[in-house]
Amino acid sequence: MGDPDLPAVDILREEGVAIVAGSVTDLAGVTRAKYVPLSRLGAFTRSGMGVSPSWSVFCVDSGIAFTPTIGVAGDLRIRIDTEDLRVIEAGVAWAPGVLADQYGEPAVLCTRTRLAVAERAAADRGLAVKMGAELECTMLAADAGPATSEPWSPYGIRTSLDRSAFLVDLATSAERAGLSVEQLHTEYGHDQLEMSLAPDTPVATADAVILARIVLSRVASRHGLRISFSPVPFDGAAGNGAHLHLSLSDADGPLLSGGDGPHGLRADGAHAIAGVLDTLPDLIGVYAGSVVSPLRLKPGNWAGATACWGLENREAAVRFVAATPGNPHGANMELKLIDPSANPYLAAAAFLGSALRGIDRAMDLPEEIPENPAQSDIATRPLPLAQPEALDAMETSQVAAELLTSDIVDALVAVRRYEQKTYGDQPPAQICDAVRLAWTC
């Protein structure tokens, strides 16, 4: 009975799949989806499913940040590829989609396409790129309040074993969904959890981040829990990061090791780190631009809120991880500033694009800060940490437009300004309450 062009239908039917989801992640960082019955999979891949262009400017709540160019008229399609399909729970398969126009051309606001463009730009320079992702999140009770009230023990064997049935189900479900989980642990913050994913090509990694959020959220609900991917779920509590690790190689091998620069950096590796640091003020609105993000970007939170780099420095925006026997994936730079309110495709595109720009311009690597930047004598460039300043910097930035297109920057500014206008004047605890579940999948 299956579509002759789509043997996938027969395989999925045998696996008990009845409906197929195709998702896109919007500029507020929220993932949205349309579903078809399995028999319509062919239409999802060939024509796509219709969505309003306003999907890109939906906000963290039910608001829509219409812009002069994005209104109520027009239509786009979510298109998926059968190769990306994964079974995410009984009867349901999912694939990450692209936003396309009715002729199949990528829509200007498609962030997955934007990351693919950055990936191609690296390939055009003869560079292979790998990205790894860490997902920090907070377990909540079913009513979205705190999951536990007893004292927490960071990375505690007690706090993890108390949840072992959930963690076992999580590891099994993640493997079944095709995720390559590197580590799983309870984190520093109360009820906080972290799952890290093995490095892969950038689009594959951003897809895996969305899949991992779906798996985390769904498995948690089977155990009477909910998961918050808010940068700060409760005012005053530890924040959730969405750190990305980046490594680059050319025909001669890795750029971040094997050279005679600091910690073995090759010249282009040093330029790449310099490029990432150079664009931080312009791109903080991409990496950590939500109304709740500034509550996390504080000294002492290991959130990388200072524009500097340093070997294994967890307070630096860029933590350098050297090639050692303890690090089988090789040297990489970790951008700690990113939080889970960011669209992972866009954050990865900005991160990679900035590194390539640093290489193109042979940018000088600033002095390393090897210690806590708050106690260092070495001066750093201030970052626009408050949301209004971050958005102003991004809106007027030539670099942001160059790396992400001015259409994306304008739409991103619109959704984040909506947050500022709606919630910006509220006390922090109220802001945290309002968006605690905004990024849950």
Which residues are near Mg ion by CB under 5 A?
194
Stretch that binds ligand GLU, among 160-168, 175-183, 295-303, 413-421 (CB under 6 A): 295-303
Of 268, 273, 279, 250, nearest in space to 360 by CA? 268
The secondary structure of residue 46, as a DSSP letter, is H
How far, in Å, CA of 185 to CA of 147, rounded? 16
Stretch that binds ligand GLU, among 64-72, 91-99, 141-149, 294-302 (CB under 6 A): 294-302
Contacts of 306 (CB under 8 A, 6+ apart): 299, 315, 316, 317, 369, 373, 374, 380, 383
Distance in Å, CB of 403 to Mg ion, minimum: 27
Candidates 166, 287, 302, 439; binder of ligand GLU (CB under 6 A) is: 302
Question: Count residues contacting ligand GLU (CB under 6 A)?
Answer: 11
Q: Does 336 bind ligand GLU (CB under 6 A)?
A: yes
Number of Cα atoms under 13 Å in the Cβ half of residue 17: 26
Strand segments, DSSP code E, in 222-323 are 225-228, 244-250, 253-254, 306-311, 316-321
For residue 305, give Cα distances in angstroms to 36, 238, 392: 43, 14, 18
Distance in Å, CB of 134 to Mg ion, minimum: 6
User: Using CB under 6 A as the criterion, what x/- string covers residues 198-237 for binding ligand GLU?
Assistant: ----------------------------------------
Q: Is the dihedral of CA 91, 177, 241, 31 positive or negative?
A: negative
Candidates 296, 357, 417, 436; binder of ligand GLU (CB under 6 A) is: 296
Distance in Å, CB of 333 to ligand GLU, minimum: 14
Q: Does residue 167 contact residue 160 with C-beta atoms inside 8 Å?
A: yes
Q: 3-state class of 277 per DSSP? A: helix
Distance in Å, CB of 352 to ligand GLU, minimum: 20
Candidates 247, 301, 313, 397; binder of ligand GLU (CB under 6 A) is: 301
Q: Does 314 bind ligand GLU (CB under 6 A)?
A: yes
Amino acid identity for residue 27 in this structure: L
Distance in Å, CB of 239 to Mg ion, minimum: 10
Q: Does 330 bind ligand GLU (CB under 6 A)?
A: no
Residues of this chain that bind ligand GLU (CB under 6 A): 136, 238-241, 296, 301-303, 314, 336
